[in-house]
Each structure stands twice: as C-alpha cells, then as structure tokens.
Structure 1
Amino acid sequence: MLCDNHALADRWFRRITKPGGSPRARLICFPHAGGTASYFRGWARLVPPDIEVLAVRYPGREDRLVDPFAQSMEALADEVTSAVGALLDRPTAFFGHSMGASVAYEVAARLHARRTPSRAPGPVALFLSGRAGPGHERVRNLGEADDRELMDEVIGMGGTEAAAFSDPELRDLVLPVIRSDFQLVERYGRSSPGSRFLDVPVFAYYGDHDAHLDPSAIEAWSAVTSGPFAARSFDGGHFYLAPHAEELVGDVVGRLRPLLVRPVR
C-alpha cells in the first residue's frame, strides 16, 4: 500500500528542487489555469536546501498529455487529496496561483475535514495568489469564448502560454487546456459552496494592477480560517509573480519558517 501511495504521488507531483537529503519541510505549488508543473521550475534556486518544492501535475498537459482533463473542481481536488497523503510526513505548505489557489484551498479543506489522530494532518499554511476568496470570484464565461477572444485574454493577462499562440501546432495543444481549465473554474465560481473553515494561517498575494481583482476580494480569504491572515500586493498584473519571483518566494519562506515546529517522522 505504501508503494501504491508513493506511485500515486509521483503521478500527480513533480519535484522542482533536486532530490537529496531529508527536507525539513515541503512546499507544494498549484499552477494557474492552462499552467503546468514546470511553471515553478525557476523556484528551485530561490528556496533554501531544507525546503523541498513540488508542483502539481494537472492531467492533459506535459507528461500527462494523454490523460483526460478534470471535469470539475470537486473531482480534481478529490484526486489531488488522495495523492498528497504520501507527502505529508513532514510540515507541508500549499502555494496556489489563480485557479491553483482554489484547488489548493479545496484540497486543504478536504484534508481538514478528514483529520483524525490516525490520519496525516493537512498543510501548515496556505499561500494563495491572484484569486478572489470564495464567493467573490468574477465569472466571465471565457471558457465558452471563441479562440481569438480566449487568446486575447491570456495575452492581456501576461500568461506564459501566450508564447505558444504564434505556432499553429503548439496553439492546438495549448488552447484546449486553457479552455478546459477556464470552464472548470467558471463552473466552480457559479456553484462555489462558500467558505469551509480551516485553522491554519492563510496568506494572500496579488498584483496591484490585476484588472480582475481588488483588495476586498483578496481580503475575503480571511473568512476561511480561524488562524492568522495577511495579504500583500506586488507591483504588476495577474502574473506579477514572474518578475517578482525572488521577492515572493522570500516572503513565502519567511512566513513558513516559524511554522515548522512539527517533528519529522
């Protein structure tokens, strides 16, 4: 059973930092809509050696290209929750950007609901980026837009996937991924069950020129936890985290350090 659990984790998570030693903590990153695990590869040089960084491998892209897209936030969160258990043998935090913030939150809520003395605990903190809190999402129906409108939206947000649009073959690979993720997020936004209560620190980040977010939508994340909450803005739009990666990762690590009190098993 242990081997099966680790095989499931290997399918769903890519190690970003180099393997070696026994990390004191883990940081699991959840990509944005249309995003991939490799989006976070630059973070490997920004974290200290005692923190292992992994990223979620969503189906339908990169080395999971033949796997069918997730059909709902609920199904995606359920599968990630099943896979992440093998990685919770030491203090673990979640970082999610945009769609990834909602996935990270839903996984954390599931782990919290299942928590018992015999089960692995959930994350020690949530770092949520570029996403409004539950019940404050703006649903824009981009998943049903035509290709040109969808591409213009991604280009306008500054998404790295936009670089593929000039190559017809790459565009044909990337657009269905983006469309499927937007549809998933929009269905979730229409039927979001609202806040599920957690008891861990929640830290929210956003670009102060993100056209689809405002401080009140970010502050809404404070309603999901009885633990500490803090928000921080960076100069930039939806993908502020690309030019500010070093500063952002430094802030995440600085906030994570005081929480690493759980002994490693």
Structure 2
Amino acid sequence: MTDEFRETGSWIRRFHPAPDARGRLVCFPHAGGSATYYFPVAQALSPATDVLAIQYPGRQDRRAEPCVEDIEELAGLIVEELRPWGDVPLAFFGHSMGATVAFEVARRLEAEGTPPLALFVSGRRAPSRVREETVHLADDDRLIDDITRLSGTDSAVLSDPEILRMILPAVRSDYKAAETYRFRPGPPLGSEVVALVGDHDPQVTVEEAGSWREHTTGPFELKVYPGGHFFLDAHMPAILDLIRGHLDVATLGT
C-alpha cells in the first residue's frame, strides 16, 4: 500500500494526502467540533504539508462511541494513534479545547524523545491559567446559549432540534473535559509555540494567551487578530500563511 492510501483508523482524517510532504500538521478540534472543521486547512496546505485531523469519539461517524471527558486521557489515546505517523516531523494546531489537547499530546511525545516541530495554539488560555467554569453542569438551554455566544456552531444546526439532540452530548462532554482540566506541573516544552487569539474573545484575554510563553523554552510568538472566539474563520488566509511560513523554516532544518 502506498503512503497516499495509508490506513488512518477511526481517530485520524487525512482529507488531502500529501505523501511527498516534508512535514505533517496535526489538527485538534474545539469543544463540540469534529475533524471536518479542518477540511479547508488540509485542502489549502496540501501538497506542501500533509494535514491530519483528529476525530474525537462521540461525534459524526463515531457518534455511537462514548466521549472522553478527561483531556489527559484523551491525549494519551491520541499519542498511540500518532506514533505511526512520526516518520516525518509533526507540528500541531489546536483551537480552544483542541489547543489544550495538542499541548498535552506534545508533552507526551517530547517525553518520548519525539517533540513536535511547532505548536500552534488558538483561542485558548495557557494551561497554567485557570478559570472556574461550570457550563457543562448547566441545562441544555444554557449550553446552547453558550455555543451561540461563541458562534462556534452553524446557526442552521442550532435551529434544528434533531441535530441539536445529536450533538449536545458531545458538546457537554467536551465542555466538561475543558472546564475540569488542571495543568499538571512539569518541564516546559522545547518546541516553538505560536499563540493566536482574538482581541474580543470572551473565553481568553490577550494576556492569558501570552502566558503560553511560560510553557516553552523554545521560540514564542503571540499573534492577535480582530474578532471573538472564532476569529480564525475570518482570518484563515492570513493564519494559513503564518503556518506555512513557520513550517517552511522548521522543515528546512530537519
């Protein structure tokens, strides 16, 4: 079997295989999100970069599987799935909850001696910055209000009761994972970290995003964009250019 048709299993989506790429970007979805959110990223970065998108249990084609409500447990499971893909250097991109998951995966791989080239963390405060949040304990209406406030789900989905019933369990489980996560002290990463944040994001301040610099001994960059929690939807071309630039530099050195 050629690399283009490698088996990805239930955890990984490879929408636009790039078998000749010098590096891979692994993308981690936000709370309630799925791998398909990163389809345009894979399309835009291929063939220079091979993009893998993580599909968490409990959504879309994995809807019948129980959700994982603990970020450290989720990270451990993902590490197992990513090991076979380490034949070329990996970089990570995670938005919101996905940024924390990506960080915990990076910690584990670095401890094994295979650190990612770079970690792009979007719309998420640094792991050591804690907010007491309990939205996952609220009723369905409060949960829907929070999703709507953040503009993280298409309005057509929010207005369809049947689809809402399907996605709310995954959303609630992901909120629980994100809200109950507590940073476990340990060595900082050695990888480059690039933090991206919207200047009006109700979930994270620019200062909280800047605290990611405390979690690496490698290069750090903070990028601030106009917008709220899903600022990246409006600024995707610029963000893709940013990713390309960093990966070009990183892979040339491998």
TM-score range, shorter chain: over 0.9
Which structure 2 residues correspond to residues 204-215 of structure 1 after superposition, within 5 A?
204-215=195-206
Contact 2:123/2:203 (8 A) holds in 1? no
Shift of 1:140: 1.6
Match of 1:137 in 2: 130
Shift of 1:46: 2.2
Are positions 1:225 and 2:216 aligned together? Answer: yes
Shift of 1:62: 1.2
Match of 1:3 in 2: none
Shift of 1:132: 0.3
Q: Residue deviations 1:37-95, cap 9 Å, x none? A: 00011123322522111100100011111111003111100000111011111121000
Are positions 1:257 and 2:243 aligned together? Answer: no
Q: RMSD of aligned C-alpha atoms? A: 1.6
Q: Secondary structure at the match of 1:40?
A: helix
Are positions 1:156 and 2:149 aligned together? Answer: yes
Match of 2:116 in 1: 123
Match of 2:14 in 1: 15
Which structure 2 residues correspond to residues 57-136 of structure 1 after superposition, within 5 A?
57-115=55-113, 121-136=114-129
Moved over 6 A (4+): none
Shift of 1:250: 0.9
Q: Residue deviations 1:106-136, cap 9 Å, x none? A: 0000111122xxxxx2211000000000121
Match of 2:140 in 1: 147
- Name the CA shift for 1:193/1:48 in 2 (closer, same or farther; >3 Å): same
Contact 1:126/1:201 (8 A) holds in 2? yes
- 2: distance between equivalents of 1:139 and 1:34? 20
- 2: distance between equivalents of 1:262 and 1:59? 35
- Name the CA shift for 1:73/1:196 in 2 (closer, same or farther; >3 Å): farther
Select which of 187, 191, 197 maps to 2:180. 187
Unaligned runs of 5+ in 1: 1-5, 116-120
Contact 1:134/1:195 (8 A) holds in 2? no
Unaligned runs of 5+ in 2: 1-5
Opposite residue 114 of structure 1, the aligned amino acid is: E
Q: Secondary structure at the match of 2:188?
A: coil
Q: Secondary structure at the match of 2:87?
A: coil
Contact 1:46/1:250 (8 A) holds in 2? no
Q: Secondary structure at the match of 1:258?
A: helix
Match of 2:190 in 1: 199
Q: Secondary structure at the match of 1:160?
A: coil
Contact 1:161/1:174 (8 A) holds in 2? no
- 2: distance between equivalents of 1:30 and 1:255? 18
- 2: distance between equivalents of 1:102 and 1:177? 17
Match of 1:118 in 2: none
Q: Percent identity, aligned pairs only?
A: 39
